[in-house]
Structure 1
Amino acid sequence: MKSFYKGTLILIVAAFFGECIEFLVNMLLARELHEEGMGLYMSILPIFFLIYVIASLELHISISKFVAENKQAMHYNLIIHALKMAAVVVLVMCVVMPFILSFSSIMDKYHPYIKWLLITLIPIVAFSSIARGYFMGVQQMGKIAFSNFLKDIIQFGLLFLIFNLFHFNQEKSLLMAFFVLIGSEFLVFLYLINLLILQMRIMRRGTNSWTTGKHARQKLLAVSLPTMGLRIFHAITNAIQPFLIHTALLSAGFGAVVATEHFGMLTGVAMTIGFFPAFIAHSLMIMLIPNVSNAYKRQDKEKLRVLLQKSMSFTVLYGVPAVIFIYFFAEPLTSLFFSSTSAAYYLKLLCPYFLFHFFVIPMQAYLIGLGLVKDAFIHTVWSHIVAFLMMYILGSQASLNMGGIILGMNTGAVLLTFMHYLTICKKIGISILLTKSRSISIK
């Protein structure tokens, strides 16, 4: 448990500074792009994340799980096979994606170069995910923490320089924002891949166990594909959400431009502020996957219980004070972006959504470690069905509009949290209070 606490602390400290910088990045973007431009930026981000998920093949998750569960002699061979898989993914996606993006009407509102920036992202993500997975698995969290911080500081520095030295129209400002985003990913890729190459040289000189490519692919894809399915579903729903909200607001009597502005305030301002403390949840997630995987393989039921208890207790300790602070200081927080009473109102209404997601993030990592990715996927599907139905039905009402949309989002978050939690408790054989331990075998 000592290494768990140490690794988590390193990630939290680095993530805190990274999150502060990311907060400043969003403030820069909000002031440069304004309400409508921020709405356009947030509308295309889900496409960015969808490409990111598919290109990564979620190999960082499967590799970290495999490395944590197996002896060091097997690591070198696994990475070689993972690199070959990544190369195939890059080749296929670089052929297919230009056609998909060219025939998509989604890109019509944006500069044509953004499409090529998105394609450039594919090899960057595919290979850096392998390095991330390895260092997560061996719990060298300092490297992961520094890479995350490096990305944020580069993005902020470049945006600050570009927007202060030059003046662009809205279309070119959006292009610059995405150019900097992809550029920061590329520099982090160079850092991680160099570290991985150095590590592989050391491993190659040692004693290594060899396995067939077929066996390695089966082991990796057994975790990667379900996890990628979950992430793709998230990315697709995030890509649909802007259009769902926009359509609901139009039905409620909003104009097209006003609907885009309110979506920008919801996602670009309220969500940015509310999810600021989520860096702690993501740090827990990174540490939980290898630790839960290792404990589950060894059938260490007590460690599984303690890991769940500690992660849930820690979430309560930071999550509850965080949302209370956000609720009472909503107006001054949103005014850092631009003056809007609507943004502050949306931020207050979203407090339950933020709090329950602070619990969901580490619990998803726990489910992955237990091999319950399918359950996590089913829970996510049902929670989104309920949330989207409520968002459209209530959001279309003129008397509710954005309030109805946020109510639907809150309901989905609560439902997802309880489904995850009850499934974990049942799997490891403990009560919902995390105290009683039933004498059952974990399978």
Structure 2
Amino acid sequence: MAIYYRGILFLAASAFLGEGIEVLVNMILARELGSHGLGLYMSILPSIFLIVLLSSFELQVSISKFIAEREERYHRNILHHAITITVVFTSILFLLTAAVLPFIPVFNAYHPYIRWLVMILIPVIAFTSVARGYFMGKQQMGRIAISNFIRKIIQLGGLYILFRLFEFDAQESLLIAIGTLIGSEIVVFLYLVYLFIIQFQQLKRQPFSNINRKVVRKNLMAVSVPTTGLRLFSAFTGAIQPFIIKAALVHSGMSNVVATEQFGMLMGVAVSIGFFPAFIAHSLMIVLIPAVSKTHSQKDYPTLQKMLQQVMKLTFIYGVAAVTIFYFFAPELTSLFFKSDTSAVFLQLLWPYFLFHFFIMPMQAFMIGLDLIKDAFIHIVWSIVISFGLVLWLGSSPDWRMNGVIIGMNTGSILLALMHYLTICKKIGVSVFMKGVKIGDSPPLR
């Protein structure tokens, strides 16, 4: 448990600095791109993240889970098979993407070089995921924390230097914004893979035992495939969300330009500010996946119950404090980006969306560690269907517009958090009020 707490503190501290840098990054983007350019930037990001997700194949999750559950003498063999899988998968995905990417219409409104910059991400993300998964499984969270910080500082430095030294038109500015994002991922790749090679060489000098290749592949795929499916669905819905929101707003009577600007203020300003405290939730998620996996493999349900209680209490304390600050200081916070009362109202109305997402992230780690990935996927499908349905219904109404969009987003977040929480409680044997009970297939409490 001591390693668990140290990992959370280390990741949270570095992530706090990283999120501070992220705010500065978004401030630079807001000022250099303008409201319309920021809307275009936020519209293309989900599509890029979709390709990133496919490239990672969620190997960081499956490898970290498998490493945490197995003795160290098996690690060398696990990594050997994981690298082989990564080489094959990356080669296939790279060729498929090269054939399909020129025909994806979402990139047509952007600089042509952006398509090929995205191609570079495929091998970079794939092999970074292997290294990241190993360090997560070994609870070496310091290296993960440093890599996250490096990515943010490289992106900030690149944007600041390029926009300060040179003048760009609107399309070139978008290219620079996306190029610095991808460049920061390349630097992280070089850092983590270098550390991974050193660690792998040390493993070669230690006694080791082999695991059958089919067993390793089966265990990795048992987590990677459903987790990728879960993330893929989330990323796909995230990629189409900008178009659904803007379509609803246009249908309500807004012009396409105004709808894009409204979306830019929603995602580029309000959501950027509201998700600032999510560095704590993300840190919890990274640490909890291997910790819950190992504890669950040992059938230590009392420890799982204690971990859930601690996570819920911590999230409630910082989450309520955060959304309270956002609500009462929204105009001051959003003025750092734009002098607009509209984005401040968006930030205030979205407080349930932010608060419940702070709970969702660590609970998803529990769902993965407890082998409840299928349940998590079903929960996400239901929440997205209901959320998008409300966005289209209310957002298309001239009386609701963006208020209707926000109601849909809030509803989806609340629904997903409640479904995750009830399922976890049933699995580990606690009531919704955190009292030990014998529920479902959980063993009796000691």
Give TM class, smaller chain.
over 0.9
- Which 4+ residue blocks in structure 1 deviate beyond 6 angstroms? none
CA distance in 2 between counterparts of 1:369 and 1:439 reads 18
Is 1:54 aligned with 2:54?
A: yes
- Aligned positions of 1:323-334 closer than 5 A: 323-334=323-334
* Paired residue secondary structure (2:108): helix
Is 1:197 aligned with 2:205?
A: no
* Paired residue secondary structure (2:226): helix
Verify the 8 A CA contact 2:426 2:439 in the aligned structure 1: no
CA distance in 2 between counterparts of 1:359 and 1:260 reads 30
> For each residue in 1:193-232, what CA deviation from the matched residue of structure 2 results, as whole angstroms up to 9, or x when unmatched?
0111100111011111112322211110100111111110
Specify the alignment match of 1:417 in structure 2. 417
Specify the alignment match of 2:228 in structure 1. 228
Using a 3 Å threshold, how does the CA distance of structure 1 residues 316 and 439 change in structure 2: closer, same or farther? closer
Is 1:161 aligned with 2:165?
A: no
Is 1:237 aligned with 2:237?
A: yes
* Paired residue secondary structure (1:359): helix
Specify the alignment match of 2:64 in structure 1. 64
State, as a whole percentage, how many aligned pairs show the same letter: 53
- Aligned positions of 1:261-300 closer than 5 A: 261-300=261-300
CA distance in 2 between counterparts of 1:3 and 1:214 reads 32
Specify the alignment match of 1:378 in structure 2. 378
Verify the 8 A CA contact 1:62 1:224 in the aligned structure 2: yes
Specify the alignment match of 2:140 in structure 1. 140
> For each residue in 1:137-157, what CA deviation from the matched residue of structure 2 results, as whole angstroms up to 9, or x when unmatched?
010110000000011011101
- Aligned positions of 1:71-90 closer than 5 A: 71-90=71-90
TM-score, with structure 1 as normaliser: 0.99
Deviation at 1:262, TM superposition (A): 0.4
Deviation at 1:341, TM superposition (A): 1.0
Specify the alignment match of 1:213 in structure 2. 213
Specify the alignment match of 1:305 in structure 2. 305
Specify the alignment match of 1:44 in structure 2. 44
Question: What is the identity, as a one-letter code, of the residue corresponding to 1:223?
Answer: V
CA distance in 1 between counterparts of 2:184 and 2:158 reads 9
Specify the alignment match of 1:150 in structure 2. 150
Verify the 8 A CA contact 1:395 1:401 in the aligned structure 2: yes
* Paired residue secondary structure (1:348): helix
Specify the alignment match of 2:407 in structure 1. 407
Segment of structure 1 superposing worse, 275-284 or 79-88: 79-88
Deviation at 1:83, TM superposition (A): 0.9
Deviation at 1:439, TM superposition (A): 7.4
Segment of structure 1 superposing worse, 36-45 or 98-107: 98-107
Verify the 8 A CA contact 1:66 1:220 in the aligned structure 2: yes
- Aligned positions of 1:334-345 closer than 5 A: 334-345=334-345
* Paired residue secondary structure (2:291): helix
Question: What is the identity, as a one-letter code, of the residue corresponding to 1:311?
Answer: V
Specify the alignment match of 1:105 in structure 2. 105
Q: Which structure 2 segments of 5+ residues have no match?
A: none
CA distance in 2 between counterparts of 1:440 and 1:233 reads 28
CA distance in 2 between counterparts of 1:107 and 1:241 reads 16
CA distance in 2 between counterparts of 1:329 and 1:354 reads 15
TM-score, with structure 2 as normaliser: 0.98
Question: What is the identity, as a one-letter code, of the residue corresponding to 1:7?
Answer: G
CA distance in 2 between counterparts of 1:440 and 1:47 reads 39
Segment of structure 1 superposing worse, 21-30 or 98-107: 98-107
Verify the 8 A CA contact 2:56 2:126 in the aligned structure 1: yes
CA RMSD of aligned residues (A): 1.0
Verify the 8 A CA contact 1:269 1:343 in the aligned structure 2: yes
> For each residue in 1:6-27, what CA deviation from the matched residue of structure 2 results, as whole angstroms up to 9, or x when unmatched?
1100000000000100110011
Specify the alignment match of 1:438 in structure 2. 438
* Paired residue secondary structure (1:154): helix
CA distance in 2 between counterparts of 1:198 and 1:268 reads 39
CA distance in 1 between counterparts of 2:57 and 2:121 reads 13
Deviation at 1:442, TM superposition (A): 3.3
CA distance in 1 between counterparts of 2:335 and 2:309 reads 37
CA distance in 1 between counterparts of 2:199 and 2:148 reads 19
Specify the alignment match of 1:121 in structure 2. 121
Count residues with an aligned counterpart. 443
Using a 3 Å threshold, how does the CA distance of structure 1 residues 290 and 172 change in structure 2: closer, same or farther? same
Deviation at 1:92, TM superposition (A): 1.1
Verify the 8 A CA contact 1:51 1:122 in the aligned structure 2: yes
CA distance in 2 between counterparts of 1:251 and 1:166 reads 39
Verify the 8 A CA contact 1:299 1:442 in the aligned structure 2: no
Question: What is the identity, as a one-letter code, of the residue corresponding to 1:73?
Answer: R
Deviation at 1:127, TM superposition (A): 0.1
Q: Which structure 1 segments of 5+ residues have no match?
A: none
* Paired residue secondary structure (2:293): helix
Specify the alignment match of 1:360 in structure 2. 360
Verify the 8 A CA contact 2:274 2:326 in the aligned structure 1: yes
* Paired residue secondary structure (1:109): coil
